[in-house]
Structure 1
Amino acid sequence: MNTDFSRVFINGEWRKGSSSTSMTNSNPYNGEELVSIQAASKEDLDEAYKAAESAQKEWAKELPQNKRAVLEKAAHVMEENKEVILEWLMKESGSTFMKASSEFQASMNILKESTTYPYRMEGKILPSQTAGKENRVYRGPLGVIGIISPWNFPFHLAIRSIAPAIATGNAVVLKPATDTPVTGGLIFASIFEAAGLPKGLLNVVVGKGSEIGDDIVTHPTPRLISFTGSTEVGRHIGELAGKHLKKTALELGGNNAFIVLDDADIDQAVDSALFGKFYHQGQICMSVNRIFIHKAIYDEFAEKFIEKAKKLKFGNPTEKDANVGPLINRGQVDRILKDIEASVDQGAKLMLGGKANSNVLEPTVLTHVKNDMAIAENEIFGPVAALIPFESDEEAIEMANAYPYGLSGAVHSSNIEHGTNVAHQIHTGMIHVNDQSVNDEPHMPFGGEKDSGLGRFNGEWVLEEFTTLKWLSVQHTPRNYGPFINNLK
């Protein structure tokens, strides 16, 4: 597998981008320069889309066993190069070893699920209201899919779209986030090149959003744009795509609620909340953002939660027992520190952390938080826990639904029906009883409601997103067109 990631990948060739811009990729923990890449220009992007369009026509006709064989080989290449992938995730995205390892496994799971798609391109034969007619429905690929991958779970959230797209007969042009051009983009060119994917089917263009960001959406070739990232950017992509009548699969921001009811197992809820809040420094769209605790158990929960949070190891993500690594860049750190300061000014109490060393923000806990404070109103995307008290189920539900996001969530109760009843009333695409909000399984529908996005990934649901249907009818016997024709005789 090629590990020189200083070039873009277009039509099966590694080459320098033709933009005048050079992009430097740095380690967010120590600032070390990892690679410098000559960025792709609009002309490069156009060439990538044209190569994809040309290659896709033959790929769509490829036998299912041959499509599956390429995906299976890609899984083999990934397994052979696991250590290389983990190292890049740690040094490029600030992933801890634990997070990088689980991200690799999640990516392998989605790739293995995708190997089944070539045999799941099912059609139907349906009855007709016209005598002698047969109705057929065929499922086929969309054509070319444009993918824009994020920096937080770059490897998994890129392959989540790449593998299903290729498996269903599409070609791909991928633009990774500028903070993670390797683990969110170029590393896949290397993997699928080694797996024998025909040239032109996967193209990776590394470039500034300001230079090619809009063009990847508005270019006439792609029929669907798959984007994972912020709601603000997703809304802009949706507007551009809608203007050009393109489909979108958008997985956007979240302000996820974690509700601890008065009958919850407190110890279980504390462990669950710690994982859902601090895993990957809280830089996950599904991360716990607001922790609502019933007043009757608030003090006990807060004491136990803070005591365990103190034990989280933070710092160098390459140390295998590290729990919390660096944020992706200093801008994220400064943004969060401002929200902490604003919330303390509003009456919240800083009980743990609140300090940063370079891009490493200490695990932080705020108590006596209200739902309208900055740390609750905004998506934190960092290792800061906001503990919010409530007095009744109705109040918790109202606060959970107060903001225009609906991605994931969690409810804790020792009574399953009690917890399930509350969970049903949270307006969200995904929610988990007696667990935390960070869950993703390759065969389950992944996606949000409201400002958290459009569409669903994984399983049969991504199959619906990345394919299209054609109605073809066959008139087996001459059709009687009634008076329209009979009057002509």
Structure 2
Amino acid sequence: MTQVKSTSSTNEGVNFISFTKSYINGQWVEGNSGRNYDDLNPFDHSTITSIPIASKEQLEEAFQAAKAAKKEWAANTKLRQDVLKNFIQYLQNNQEAIINTLVLETGSSVLKSQIELHLTTSLLEESLKIVDSLGKVKTVDPTMPGKVNHVYRLPLGVVSTIAPFNFPLFLSIRSIAAALALGNTVVHKPDIQAGLSSGSVIAKGLEESGFPAGVFNSMLTDIQEIGDAMLEHPDVKLICFTGSTAVGRHIGRIAGGSFKRVALELGGNSPFIVLKDANIDQAVKAAIFGKFLHAGQICMAINRFIVHEDVYDEFAKKFVEHASKLPYGNPQDPTTIVGPLINQVQLDKALNKIDKLKAAGADVLLEGQLVGNVLTPYVFGNVDNSSEVAQSEFFAPIAVLIKASSDEHAIEMANDTEHGLSSAIFTSDLARGEELALRVEAGMTHVNDQTVNDLPNIPFGGVKASGVGRYGNPWIIDEFTETKWVSVQEQERQYPF
């Protein structure tokens, strides 16, 4: 039996910046592709560290290790419970080091990093509740004499997890925790821009927590090196991906051809609907948080503010006033709210959208500025909901206000998008708000709250081009297990021929 190591409470001084190796079959292995990736601080573009890129051959080693470890891991419920508890304790013991890593590597504010770590530990605590879901037997009423029907849940096997840069720790753990709790093994590829936050922090924590070799493997590599190997490998039974709709479509085509399962959280175009009877002051407070947390680099972030014309001017004035006062700058300053975008490519995309909005004649309600690598809040008014820019995902601190002629018109415009992840409605009539929420074509709608919400015990996910599958207990169990019917014929059955 695997010996479970206890998690020490003396790890507070760990420096995750030094963990630049991939973690394969319980060993820290230097990438041997011959290429290095310079991990940059998004705020000043200084080099945090250099990461040796792992090769496609090393990825194959990780898959083989995960395959070899899956049988014993799936069979040991007590071990899974114990080491997950140790991992939670490890994260709690190393909060300061983890937050510092998120701030340095991803440009996250201290507040956003604290929120992310809290979401991560809450999700892990919820995952403990599903550890014993395997092998559960449900007796189904027999449809013929002498037959007993049982339904079992079994692990899928090897799960491939691919994480984004924006909430790298949480959006990695969301898939990893469920996979491991339910007896699967994992090969994980973080976005290399957040390789330490999304890969090394997790690998070190799982190592210290007593996870057996091969159960979790973290690959610090890139698409240039491995291509579609995370998707195409024959041992992969489920592909978990959070990122763009375009990449999600690519994954869907590959997975469909080989009948692999997918859990995809893709792009969003979240509407924030302000009805004419809304509490404007409260709506503005919610709107500011839902738009500018992590400089808008969140799939659930508010993308379009759809405001009833009767309250449009009041909302716009108060929203601009609040947005103009948000602290911005170095995310290492704990007072900072708006920090840098992750890289120059994302910044260029944001600046291009600003140019397009101005060229289209949108009202410039708040003219932001580029201060070093930080883009301060921009607010545009009277934007055309059907325009190319309004129909795209911003991933930047750019707010667009769209005027609705009626509440019905607001709902129509909210649904006029290929996406359907999160959404929000502000109204004083809560019953009507919930009624309208059911008409919004999104996986999640929040009445009198903003769009950035996630809980470990709700069905999190999108519709349309925003994804496939649901996270959250108990819905996650269906995604990460196979359901098997076993019947036992206790009496001799009579056959017609």
In structure 2, what residue type is equivalent to 1:447?
G
Query: Residue 273 of structure 2 aligns to a residue in which SS?
Result: strand
Q: For residue 105 of structure 1, what is the aligned residue in structure 2?
A: 118
Shift of 1:347: 1.3
Q: For residue 71 of structure 1, what is the aligned residue in structure 2?
A: 84
1:375–1:358 CA distance, 2 compared to 1 (3 A): farther
Q: 2:47 aligns with which of 16, 27, 33?
A: 33
In structure 1, what residue type is equivalent to 2:129?
T
1:416-435, aligned counterparts within 5 Å?
416-435=430-449
Q: 1:339 aligns with which of 353, 359, 363?
A: 353
In structure 1, what residue type is equivalent to 2:479?
E
Query: Residue 474 of structure 2 aligns to a residue in which SS?
Result: helix
Q: 2:132 aligns with which of 112, 119, 136?
A: 119
Contact 1:330–1:358, Cα closer than 8 Å, also in 2: no
Query: Residue 115 of structure 1 aligns to a residue in which SS?
Result: helix
In structure 2, stretches of 5+ residues that fail to align are 1-10
Further displaced range: 277-286 or 25-34: 25-34
In structure 1, what residue type is equivalent to 2:126?
E
Q: Does 1:445 align with 2:459?
A: yes
The whole-number CA distance in structure 1 between the counterparts of 2:427 and 2:282 is 10
Q: 2:392 aligns with which of 378, 383, 392?
A: 378
Q: For residue 282 of structure 1, what is the aligned residue in structure 2?
A: 296
Q: Does 1:313 align with 2:327?
A: yes
Query: Residue 342 of structure 1 aligns to a residue in which SS?
Result: helix
Q: Does 1:258 align with 2:272?
A: yes
Shift of 1:354: 3.3
Contact 1:340–1:354, Cα closer than 8 Å, also in 2: no
In structure 1, what residue type is equivalent to 2:44?
N
In structure 2, what residue type is equivalent to 1:411?
I
Contact 1:407–1:447, Cα closer than 8 Å, also in 2: yes
Question: Which stretches of structure 1, 4 residues or longer, exceed 3 Å deviation after superposition?
Answer: none
Q: For residue 34 of structure 2, what is the aligned residue in structure 1?
A: 20
In structure 2, what residue type is equivalent to 1:367?
G
1:397-416, aligned counterparts within 5 Å?
397-416=411-430
1:135-284, aligned counterparts within 5 Å?
135-284=149-298
Query: Residue 152 of structure 1 aligns to a residue in which SS?
Result: coil
The whole-number CA distance in structure 1 between the counterparts of 2:362 and 2:433 is 28
In structure 2, what residue type is equivalent to 1:164?
A
Can you list the C-alpha shifts for 1:112-157, whole angstroms capped at 9, x where unaligned?
A: 0011111233331112223211111110110010000110000000
The whole-number CA distance in structure 2 between the counterparts of 1:468 and 1:96 is 40
Can you list the C-alpha shifts for 1:162-193, whole angstroms capped at 9, x where unaligned?
A: 11111100000000002111111121110000
Shift of 1:372: 2.4
The whole-number CA distance in structure 1 between the counterparts of 2:137 and 2:323 is 52
The whole-number CA distance in structure 1 between the counterparts of 2:46 and 2:95 is 22
In structure 2, what residue type is equivalent to 1:129?
T
The whole-number CA distance in structure 2 between the counterparts of 1:318 and 1:169 is 38
Query: Residue 79 of structure 1 aligns to a residue in which SS?
Result: helix
Contact 2:133–2:153, Cα closer than 8 Å, also in 1: no
Q: How many correspondences in the alignment?
A: 482
In structure 1, what residue type is equivalent to 2:450?
Q
Contact 1:5–1:35, Cα closer than 8 Å, also in 2: no
Query: Residue 37 of structure 1 aligns to a residue in which SS?
Result: strand
Further displaced range: 127-136 or 222-231: 127-136
Contact 2:24–2:61, Cα closer than 8 Å, also in 1: yes
The whole-number CA distance in structure 2 between the counterparts of 1:44 and 1:175 is 12
Contact 1:71–1:115, Cα closer than 8 Å, also in 2: yes
Further displaced range: 227-236 or 364-373: 364-373
Shift of 1:425: 1.1
The whole-number CA distance in structure 1 between the counterparts of 2:96 and 2:26 is 25
The whole-number CA distance in structure 1 between the counterparts of 2:52 and 2:322 is 45
The whole-number CA distance in structure 2 between the counterparts of 1:213 and 1:417 is 50
Contact 2:306–2:410, Cα closer than 8 Å, also in 1: yes
Q: For residue 8 of structure 2, what is the aligned residue in structure 1?
A: none
Shift of 1:249: 0.1
Query: Residue 236 of structure 2 aligns to a residue in which SS?
Result: coil
Query: Residue 235 of structure 1 aligns to a residue in which SS?
Result: helix
Q: For residue 487 of structure 1, what is the aligned residue in structure 2?
A: none
Q: 2:310 aligns with which of 291, 296, 304?
A: 296
Contact 1:328–1:359, Cα closer than 8 Å, also in 2: no
The whole-number CA distance in structure 1 between the counterparts of 2:215 and 2:160 is 12
Q: 2:403 aligns with which of 352, 373, 389?
A: 389
The percentage of aligned residue pairs carrying the same residue is 46
Contact 2:25–2:217, Cα closer than 8 Å, also in 1: yes
Q: Does 1:91 align with 2:101?
A: no
The whole-number CA distance in structure 2 between the counterparts of 1:34 and 1:161 is 27
The whole-number CA distance in structure 2 between the counterparts of 1:194 and 1:213 is 31
Query: Residue 399 of structure 1 aligns to a residue in which SS?
Result: helix
The whole-number CA distance in structure 2 between the counterparts of 1:213 and 1:141 is 27
Query: Residue 425 of structure 1 aligns to a residue in which SS?
Result: coil
The whole-number CA distance in structure 1 between the counterparts of 2:158 and 2:57 is 17
Contact 1:343–1:373, Cα closer than 8 Å, also in 2: no
Can you list the C-alpha shifts for 1:318-368, whole angstroms capped at 9, x where unaligned?
A: 111111111000111111111111111111011213322333111111112
Contact 2:295–2:338, Cα closer than 8 Å, also in 1: yes
Shift of 1:378: 0.9
